[in-house]
């Protein structure tokens, strides 16, 4: 078995193994089994004779995903636009919430000093 990818966690590793399996390539994630959940990187392994096909498949998927994001951005769609998305991106919502809490805190301090 040889490593063809390193996933950012167990879920991502399982997605990669499933994608390889859909293409008929048997893969396995090394390092996700155990009594405690892990947030560490996980290696995805395939048989040595299928490594080239697996690498090509994952590279093609990465290119397709990158092109899809670029196309969505060019059309004004996706997570960073108001069209085609039900609400603001999660980071924007978290920042807005943080600013609201800070504003309420400042107003409470000013009111208490009056």
Helices (H) and strands (E) in the chain, counts: 3, 3
- Predicted confidence band at 113 (pLDDT cuts at 50, 70, 90)? confident
* 3-class secondary structure, 68: helix
Q: Print the domain residue range for 104.
A: 86-114
Q: What is the predicted pLDDT for the residue at 46?
A: 93
Q: Is 56 exposed, middle or buried (0-12, 13-18, 19+ CB in 10 A)?
A: exposed
- Taking residue 67's Cβ as centre, other Cβ atoms within 10 Å add up to 10
Same domain, 71 and 95: no
Instruction: Give one word for 78, left, alpha or beta, with left for phi > 0 and alpha for psi -120 to 50.
Output: left
101, 66: one domain:
no
Name the pLDDT band for 98 (thresholds 50, 70, 90).
confident
Distance CA 109, CA 18 (A): 54
- Structurally, the chain folds into a number of domains equal to 2
User: In this structure, are 95 and 71 located in the same domain?
Assistant: no
In this structure, the answer to whether residues 112 and 66 fall within a common structural domain is: no
Asked if 11 and 38 sit in the same domain, the reply is yes
- What is the domain-level CATH number for residue 47? 3.30.70
Do 19 and 42 share a domain, yes or no?
yes
User: DSSP letters along 20-49, please?
Assistant: HHHTT---EEES--SSS---S-EEEEE-GG
Residues 32 and 6: their CA atoms lie apart, in Å, by 12
Tell me: do 47 and 97 sit in the same domain.
no
Residue 22 lies in a domain: yes
Q: What is the DSSP letter of 87?
A: S
What digits encode the pLDDT tens for the residues 1-42?
Answer: 998 988 888 888 888 899 899 889 999 988 776 666 666 788
Q: Do the domain assignments include residue 67?
A: yes
């Amino acid at each position: 078995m040889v490593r063809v990818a390193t996933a950012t966690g167990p879920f991502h590793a399982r997605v990669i193994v499933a994608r390889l399996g859909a293409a008929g390539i048997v893969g396995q994630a090394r390092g996700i089994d155990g009594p405690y959940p892990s947030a560490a990187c996980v290696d995805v392994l395939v048989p040595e004779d299928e490594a080239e096909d697996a690498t090509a498949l994952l590279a093609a998927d990465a290119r397709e995903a990158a092109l899809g994001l670029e196309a969505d951005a060019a059309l004004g769609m996706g997570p960073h636009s108001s069209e085609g998305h039900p609400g603001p991106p999660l980071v924007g919502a978290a920042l807005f919430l943080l600013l609201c809490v800070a504003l309420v805190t400042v107003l409470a301090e000013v009111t208490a000093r009056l």
